[in-house]
A and B are shown apart, each in its own frame.
Chain A
């Protein structure tokens, strides 16, 4: 077999690809309307994640901390949660949803967050806020388990578990997008609108890209409502686009409420978008309309100008969130490119059984590596030792590898703080396929000019 699939050899992490679980839960929490999460731990676990999200989206999002100090670490810090909930509710009268996200410190000291939620319901909510709808939702995110990807997955599941309730059957579907950008959600909603399918979108984050208004009124926040979360139990079916970011929620809805689940594929590239639309068609009976046939044609028209002329045979390394990496790798293969190195930043038992990885292992006819538990030093070390790359696809934390080794890089994933506005553009759907192909090509073109590598080719195109 040409493709090696293995964990990295080193035990430690040099330049991590992911941060830890609480960050994923925090990113999920800001997608819900009237929701401010409380992260139960040291203040850095919130302060830096808020900074990270604001670096990526160039917006600020509200997330609170229980501000555990030394006394809490020694004697237990549940009193800090109790105070945090009350302070938050007093000062933010619109807040209805308060996930309480644990961290490594509060999991190690064994704070009973589930117990304190019961206590707060009886002693605080029923007494002080009897007329207010408030949901306290414990979300366990010990940082020493999983990664930010599993933290996101766990949080989506726990939100769905908390809210979903059968009422009457609905024609809507549940669309669980996974960890994506506002531009992706916009494109996915567009595709569903063309299909005339209504969806509970988890999460509606198009509004993350918020305006600067003359009356100063705009706030960046997601807009998935409690009603939508509740109605997930009544949906015709669930499509979770990402196996590792929302897959658990889809499975849970199927098990608990008999809502049929389709997990994957991540609709990156033409082929995976086709499959996504077929899945929607199967689930709802709604036909794929002529308008999407045309959109697909426009995308293919653009991609055909690039694929075999400029992109074919180009060697690519891809790192980031697993569904994104695998989706990109599949699309690169469809473009005639050669993904030679895929780096997945955590160890997930599911990777062994992932059909996409199995198919890649089965079919690539050139040397390729898929490294799990990987870090960015895996990439750098291979380049130092002779790995030839034409392109890197990954997030901003790997920028110095591209800079120091003069390898063109297209920023994709989370976070992409060192390029302007990328969160606005989709990588999913037909629009995403076009965007990716064109951006990859432009990145290569720019590099040809900077390095004076056959830069004259583009004299005529």
Chain B
């Protein structure tokens, strides 16, 4: 294996097998780091906990639910207002978070009574909301509170409410990924099959592993609806609690983020015989292939092709404007889990950048397999990176931009590498055809910020150009472009609006009439 040993980690021999450099001719059989093992204490890893994996990543995007954490307030506070998973019900799930506020006396005497009071109180405070998820935390798991029993008792007393319980305390596993798994399994065990949906189309899917970051889900939902497909539920972005209880009636599970949600798809296949189709909403080609695959499954390829043709014609000239200017730019693709393989190949092919490194905080070896398979030669692949390794990699690779989280982005800033938020995006959504152009635009604006150029100058010793009061991004990006491209009439910069989700929401309701019925009526 072409393992990469970081200088800063020479004293930690076990780290050596967690990074590889993909050489010429290497594939995932010959270049694959270890993954998803216990974190080395004190290494300043970037991993989170199983509670946040369950509550923060998967649970909370459900929009019509009281999300209550059973524990001290910290877990709730810390996982509140750090994400951009919006919803079309005025963002209830972003705005409200609930903690049972466990204190020392409860640790000593138990907190089940406290939990029950909290549940009743929360439903009273939010009279329009009739659904709740209760998340176990480290403290209440360790004292052995039976949250299931309390939930059952309340449901008995309050027949109009429904409560889901998620037992995923923070210490459960090496990273947030343990929590993804637990909440997937708990949901199918406890809630799927409890609600019978109204079926309005011949083509019915669940959209799984999609969290509606800045409206991603709503963009994709638009395509599915234009194909006449009924989306029973989204797991979980912009999803409803009762919609997700009806998952068993879909004909197909369309899976986006396999890292966080393949578990429920696999169980739906085993228990209800619903096939799983992995798709990809990022990138013109992967997205087109995805819509085609769904079309083929239902025998409605023509509807997919119509959308692909329309959207490509509208947005490809804009994507290509950026591609010409991003060619060869070096990118560190350092997300949490699945984006390393969702994006690696697609950004190289469609934006012309070169992915010089991929990493994953909580991905499993399967994610690395896909990531390695999809990234180019010489890419440095790192599992569970830590602060010093990240800095060493940035120094060695000298990327033009890095896609990562907010805090690591601040680290990159200090070594003069601009960052894009890979988890929450800058000016998303990034899914869909237009979204992909918005991503390209954010990358372009990051790399060619005139400010970024200025930050490299040392005014005490460098030559300071005094002949200009400004430069534009174009002056930087087009300096070395062939004239026919720089002045091309067929390419253009992004022309969309600031907020593209507001218009999508206005398409509702006539827009949601299934095409299949409309055709039948004709």
CB within 8 Å of B: which residues of A?
A: 10-16, 18-23, 36, 38, 41-45, 47-52, 54-55, 58-60, 62-70, 72-73, 80-81, 83-88, 90-92, 103-105, 108-109, 142-145, 147-148, 210, 212, 214-216, 218-220, 377, 381, 396-397, 399-400, 404
Given A108-B142, A216-B414, A13–B98 Cβ distance below 8 Å? Answer: yes
Given A20-B75, A42-B51, 4 more A-B residue pairs with CB atoms under 8 Å apart are: A12-B99, A48-B82, A83-B41, A143-B74
**In the complex, A73→B77 CA distance in Å?**
23
**In the complex, A95→B193 CA distance in Å?**
55
**In the complex, A66→B47 CA distance in Å?**
12
- Which residues of B are found within 8 Å of A50, using beta-carbon distances? 407
Q: How distant is B14 from chain A, measured CB to nearest CB, in Å? A: 11
**In the complex, A12→B121 CA distance in Å?**
8
Chain B 67-92, CB-CB to A under 8 Å as 1, else 0, gives: 01001111111111110000000010
- Which residues of B are found within 8 Å of A143, using beta-carbon distances? 71-74, 139
A69 B173 Cβ-Cβ under 8 A: yes
Given A44-B52, A91-B8, A91-B43, A108–B107 Cβ distance below 8 Å? Answer: yes
A42 B49 Cβ-Cβ under 8 A: yes
**A13, A55, A400: which contacts B95 (Cβ < 8 A)?**
A400
Cβ-closest 4 pairs across A and B: A20-B74, A42-B170, A84-B42, A44-B49
A212 B407 Cβ-Cβ under 8 A: no
A sample of 17 inter-chain contacts (CB < 8 A) reads: A13-B76, A15-B95, A16-B99, A22-B74, A44-B51, A47-B52, A48-B48, A51-B78, A51-B407, A59-B410, A60-B414, A65-B45, A66-B41, A67-B39, A68-B171, A143-B71, A214-B455
B170 A45 Cβ-Cβ under 8 A: yes
**In the complex, A429→B455 CA distance in Å?**
33
- Which residues of B are found within 8 Å of A220, using beta-carbon distances? 414
Given A91-B11, A214-B457, A54–B410 Cβ distance below 8 Å? Answer: yes
Chain B 40-74, CB-CB to A under 8 Å as 1, else 0, gives: 11111111111110000000000000001001111
CB within 8 Å of A: which residues of B?
A: 8-9, 11-12, 38-52, 68, 71-82, 91, 94-104, 106-107, 114, 117-118, 121-122, 125, 137-139, 141-143, 169-176, 387-388, 405-408, 410-411, 413-416, 455-458, 462
The winner among B42, B76, B101, B176 for most chain A CB atoms within 10 A is B42
Given A44-B75, A45-B49, A105–B101 Cβ distance below 8 Å? Answer: no
B41 A81 Cβ-Cβ under 8 A: yes
B139 A104 Cβ-Cβ under 8 A: yes
A41 B48 Cβ-Cβ under 8 A: no
**In the complex, A47→B45 CA distance in Å?**
9
A12 B74 Cβ-Cβ under 8 A: no
**In the complex, A44→B139 CA distance in Å?**
13
**A59, A90, A109: which contacts B142 (Cβ < 8 A)?**
A109
- Which residues of B are found within 8 Å of A92, using beta-carbon distances? 388
B42 A212 Cβ-Cβ under 8 A: no
Q: How distant is B69 from chain A, measured CB to nearest CB, in Å? A: 9
Given A47-B46, A67-B38, A15–B407 Cβ distance below 8 Å? Answer: no
